[in-house]
Amino acid sequence: MTDPRQAPPALERVQQNWLAASERRILNWLCAHMPSAITPDILTMTGMIGAVMVFAGYVASNWGGAWLIITLVGYAVQWFGDSLDGSLARWRRIERPSYGYFIDHSCDGLANFLIVAGIGLSPFVTMDVAMIALAGYLLMSIHAFLSARVVGELRLSYFAAGPTELRLMLVAMTVMMMVLGPERGLFGVISGFDLFVGGIGAILILLFLGQTIATGRRLAALERPPALRP
């Protein structure tokens, strides 16, 4: 049995999204000016509060689009907490690799469930379409965690897009919800918002399949039986 007190192998963080460099400058500035009383755990909880706000705003939009303002503020709060907790730990050199990895990704899973469930409970997107997006997210999460174990790298972006870019896409969608309202009829009972959210889910599922094949081939080449090696 592995000793939980033993530090896990260091993971290579792969982050090549469009906004990575600009976001890193902002996060470093925030870390340098963060009050000492604010800890990574507090920021993790802040991110969860933001996710709850996003969920509440989407659900409340059944009574009026103006409630989506709560969702927009929630996205900002969620980005602040989720992006800064690990950054602050590394900045202050107080990382707890096993604890941080476990808590951070557990909270990420719950936060994204709340966000997608909120979208499905809004009057803009049907729940079955939202669940396609959730399935895509969960599959990509499984791939990331498996890759961290077998390849030793934690990939945080694909095709120059990462969590921040996805949040901005959802923010833009939410603004359009406020502008256009929940009317349906683009393709029968399917709205443009259904197509957008379902499209994201389909892309994530296809990305999972592609990355699984690519990683499988990479591992097969690395672990080719001696008799089959050239």
User: Residue 92 has what pLDDT?
Assistant: 92
Measure CA 28 to chain center. Answer: 20
Name the token pair of 52: 């709850």
**What band does 77 get if pLDDT is binned at 50, 70 and 90?**
very high
Reported as a single tens digit per residue, the pLDDT across 153-207 is 766 666 666 788 888 999 999 999 999 888 766 566 778 899 999 999 999 999 9
User: Residue 69 has what pLDDT?
Assistant: 97
Contact status, residue 42 vs residue 94, Cβ threshold 8 Å: no
Give phi and psi for 224, each to the nearest 5.
-65, 135
Reported as a single tens digit per residue, the pLDDT across 96-122 is 888 988 898 899 999 999 999 999 999
Strand partners, 35: none
Distance, in Å, from the CA atom of 58 to the CA atom of 118, rounded to the nearest integer, reads: 5
Task: Assign domain 12-228 to a CATH class.
Answer: mainly alpha
Name the token pair of 116: 């997608």
Mean pLDDT of the chain: 86
Contact status, residue 91 vs residue 76, Cβ threshold 8 Å: no
Residues of the chain with pLDDT > 90, as a percent, come to 56
Strand partners, 8: none
Q: Give pTM, 2 decimals.
A: 0.85
* Among the listed residues 103, 102, 63, 79, the one whose alpha carbon sits nearest the alpha carbon of residue 30: 79
Name the token pair of 49: 């509060």
Reported as a single tens digit per residue, the pLDDT across 215-226 is 899 888 887 776
- Local structure of residue 155 (DSSP, 8 states): E
